[in-house]
Structure 1
Amino acid sequence: MEIRLNGEPRFINAAHLTVANLLELEQVMSPEMVAVQIDGEIVHRGDYHHTVVGDRNEVDLLYFMAGG
């Protein structure tokens, strides 16, 4: 399948890809510090394991950063 991840095209060889699977594939070290948006809609953290990422979805990983 092809998705756009943070604006970049990405080809992923998976028939069934959840948000949780995508975070693992991307080796996100602190998933609790990341918000996920699919096609402009925020995915609730409790839904990561059963929200499916589909072909041609636009996915954004939004990292929380402390400022000062």
Structure 2
Amino acid sequence: MTDRQPVLPGRSSGQDSPSVNLPAPGCGVQVRERNGIWEVQVDGKFRGDYLQKEHALAAAALHKLSLR
């Protein structure tokens, strides 16, 4: 057993990565942040840019529900 904390994917040496990806498991909805803008994609197609993370996640959730 070691005293080291696990390193999360996308992070190296404690530095934040320039991009955050939040893919929804099992579907083609993806939310990512670049330069303060949150982008939503569905099956690789652009669906919108948002200034707030909460708005992007809400849009992604609606897209995910519409895929059912």
Q: TM-score, normalised by structure 2?
A: 0.26
What is the TM-score when the length of structure 1 is the normalising length? Answer: 0.26
Indicate the structure whose relative CO is greater, using CA pairs within 8 Å and at least 6 residues apart: 1
